[in-house]
Amino acid sequence: MLMKLPPVGKKRRLSEQVYQVLLSAIINHEICPGTRLFEDELVRQLGVSGTTVREALAKLEQDGLVVKSPHRFTMVPKLSQQDIEEIYDLRLALETLSVRRVHERITPEGLARLKELVMKGEEALEQGDLNGLVHYNEEFHNALCALSGNRRLIRMIQILRKQIRLFRVRGIRDYPGLEEHRRIVEALGERDCERAVEEMSRHIIRGKQYYLKELAESTSGEVHDERGTEANDFEA
């Protein structure tokens, strides 16, 4: 049984609204990996037509956030070790390319925005605001990617970042991501392209190792709720 989903309004195209509602529920684990999504149930809960639901599910499938079954249902997939490795290998290639493009185009305003997001993330961490930390982590990567000016590159990176959120990390123990963000921004500010690329590479590789460790612990039954923080979604 799905969690209760809110009915959608009329301001934007309905299929886009349904997509956004389902996307939010999936990446925030209100709809968990392994959950089956049935068209008739979504129609009833969201108060829209079957065509609208099918269009939204098709877009989620394009993003790799759901898979279709021949048995008339759609499922939110569970990420495997291979999935995590593939996602991070692609992120390594694409996000280091993004940093090179940002280095060519960075403006004082763009640099100031990145510094602001790092600072806000640090403030959220100091206050124990894990939701805020997740938000500013995502905003940092989105802002950095947007500064590349390459629309296709931006789209591909955004899809990969959505996909990795299918895996739920329980807490953020010993997570050095904010310091890594700061070093990336410092290198860009000093116009040191190779160091910025190196820092991003280190950031992505460490994120991959972090997720693979979390997956190994979760599948071996070693994950406990004794980490001092509530479960939350966080990615490099």
Domains of the chain: 14-75 (1.10.10.10), 81-219 (1.20.120.530)
What is the overall mean pLDDT for the chain?
A: 88
3-state helix, strand, coil in the chain (%, to 5): 65, 5, 35
Rg (CA), the chain: 19
Those residues whose C-beta lies under 8 Å from the C-beta of residue 194, and which sit 6 or more positions away, are none
| Mean pLDDT across 111-134 | 91
**Which tens digit of pLDDT belongs to each residue from 161-210?**
999 999 876 655 555 688 999 999 999 999 999 999 999 999 999 999 98
53 sits in which H/E element? helix 50-62
Q: Is the separation of the CB atoms in 144 and 94 below 8 Å?
A: no
Q: Please compute, for residue 212, the number of CA atoms within 13 A of its CA located in the half-sphere on the CB side.
A: 15
Place of tokens 């499938």: 61
pTM comes to: 0.84
Closest CA to 162 of 218, 93, 90: 90
> What pLDDT, on the 0 to 100 scale, is given for residue 8?
61
